[in-house]
Structure 1
């Protein structure tokens, strides 16, 4: 891991390393390999996207793992159940410390909502995701009594940092930035504790893609908030700062030494022409999926198990996106521009 932590952008061309095999997880790897064969194909997603109406998009799912009735009734509930099943499988296959790490994604998401409500003097409530390590009902108890220590680490300190960030200038966006930064630090620390080169690289890629999106959004909105870029990516924050001052057509060259050049060339041109981030989101998803799919070189290990979780979650989000778009009668081109 020490050598891995010193990796630079020039150490890989397309994707960073996924680490080495671990034969103690041969059974788990075999199980997710079998499940991967049941995932939706690109052809199916294309058929759904090009379907003339909602019913036809639902029909394209026939014979898949998505048992959505022809009427499409309650499809969101069905997709939530599907996601829950995927996560339960992951927790069955992965060691507890890794399951805890990935459950924390919901903890941080719930915390964003709870802190926002608290500083705006709204009821904190209990309507949170139940997929985290912290029970939804605990948030109300924590914030009513301002007893953050009832939550597991690192959430108490993160909460204090987020509240303080808000009150510096009462900018609600600073809550999101403080929690995003804390989540990135936590995930990378856990990757080191788990001695996982794959997770360490995964979380660095995710930071890069977050910063890339942030840069393009700020350019379109003509704002300059350099303190919201996250530390912990392969690409230094200074390069993204430089990108804020560069023209859209110069971004590809600026990121030539990174694996994100294509995203910047195509995505920035799309943003400039359409004032939309659909293509950027699609390209970021494609890159992350490509990295996850590169775990196919692993014969046995936890990497394919994590990759399956994230790819299955992405598939569920994609199905929801397409069906929601079809139900709202959105233009097919917009759907195709977004779906990875």
Structure 2
């Protein structure tokens, strides 16, 4: 039976269930306890589980991420919350040089079952230091899995999937999604890590995207439908591993592709997807691929400039029209 929850509530429910089920699971990060989390995800959990399992940490991402790695190596199932994605750069040495590599460097002797959650994305007027979309950067690193839940169902499922994985998993939660509502069915078998999801069938054009851009793409598809353009929308869900099979099947079906990515265009996950399509399905394309990314600038504070810097419904529609004009 499904219930209607906010994205925030879905993550909280998954965290609670995991901690009730397995005493090895604990949450640590800045303000996750007494304050209830910077985005209120862990509100009320300190009272339920106590300070040994809901741990307020010092303001040192490298230190508490390293502590999470140590706990994972010793049989615990830590969930590290990094307040916003820009702060993850302070823990990059721990994430890339330790969490992602220890299984390989130990000859398969030591797994690191670590889950790291963080808020990502712009649109909240948090300016240039707190509006990054760096999930594509982390998708570059072997040894990590990178998840980008868009829906309430995935926000819930991906916590459980990440905790069940023997390797480090990073979950990027777009901060604008926390208040959105959707259906959650806890009895529904979760879609596996690395599997994309078709949100809208179409025959003229495929839009590949993830996170909050899924909903922008769906809105754009409705506008395009009124103009006689039948757009398909696929939620990638996972940036590492990517679902190459689903991507190439979509190319063979519609023969026109665009990627919507909140990351910057240069060196982005959208560039990686385009390269893979060129390698695996180039002759299926009827037109050059297109993409809509964030503007190549540090994010502005002013609302009208921030809106202009982000992928928008109108820019997605404009790119789709352009692709459909190609011979």
TM-score by length of 1: 0.28
Which structure has greater strand proportion? 2
Tell me which of the two structures has the higher relative contact order, counting C-alpha pairs closer than 8 angstroms and 6 or more residues apart.
1
TM-score by length of 2: 0.28
Name the larger-Rg structure. Answer: 1
